[in-house]
Amino acid sequence: MAKITVNGEQQEVKLPLNITELIKQNDVTQPDMVSVQVNDDFVDRTEWDGLQLKEGDNVDFLYFMGGGTFLFRV
């Protein structure tokens, strides 16, 4: 087990674990709407499968947010 921080909260995870798997574990329903930072560096979507997390990593999920009339066309 390893301790990592996800969006400011500590989590215990089982290694090996890549970004795609972490996203799945955290029930992110729409991975396409998320941008990921590991230890303050952005990780391109194409590198999510290849980046193996390690003890002490700090992961931030940044979500796309539109506006108040988000996508509604009445």
Partner 1 sequence: MIDFTEEQIKRYSRHILLQDVGVEGQEKIMNARVLVVGAGGLGAPVSLYLAAAGVGTIGIVDADVVDLSNLQRQVIHFTKDVGVPKVKSAKEKIEAINPDVKVDTYFEFLDSSNALDIIKEYDFIVDGTDNFPVKFLINDACVMAGKPFSHGGILRFNGQTFTHLPGTACYRCMFKEPPPAGAVPTCSQAGVLGAIAGMLGTIQAAETLKYFTGIGELLTNRLLTFDAKTMQFHTVPVKHRDTCPICGTNPTIDHLIDYEQAACDLKNH
Residues making contact with partner 1 (CB under 8 A): 7-8, 29-30, 32-33, 35, 37, 40-42, 44, 60, 62-74
> 21 or 60, CB closer to partner 1?
60
> 1 or 71, CB closer to partner 1?
71
DSSP letters spanning 20-68: HHHHHHTT-S-GGGEEEEETTEEE-GGGTTT-B--TT-EEEEEE----T
User: What is the nearest approach in angstroms of partner 1 to the Cβ of residue 35?
Assistant: 5
User: What is the nearest approach in angstroms of partner 1 to the Cβ of residue 46?
Assistant: 11
User: What is the nearest approach in angstroms of partner 1 to the Cβ of residue 4?
Assistant: 15
Give residue 24's identity as a one-letter amino acid code: K
